[in-house]
Structure 1
């Protein structure tokens, strides 16, 4: 049996709003594969995707929403 070490957890900012999102099973499976490949959490993948979406739709708001904070 191989023991895998969990990645270090990021500090959670108490001011950071939380959201609960439901995904179709196929999309969630894809998000999990991406997260595993990048060695990050599904939450990180979703935040990154949201930042990229906002930056592409409203470029002037991308930096204000925390865009540009690239990790991993």
Structure 2
């Protein structure tokens, strides 16, 4: 299986508008293959880790939960 790597340069060049377009595609979920949606999801997740301020309105798309391992 091949891992998805997003260059840091790509993440640093993301604009709020580009993230909004990405989120819109994910919300519409009209991909021709499941892998296209997964690729967008991985991109949004990478942005969330590097530039969380851009992803705050779209966190519901990532389904990230904090776990209490106590």
TM-score (norm 2): 0.33
Relative to the length of structure 1, the TM-score reads 0.32
Higher relative contact order (CA 8 A, sep 6+): 2
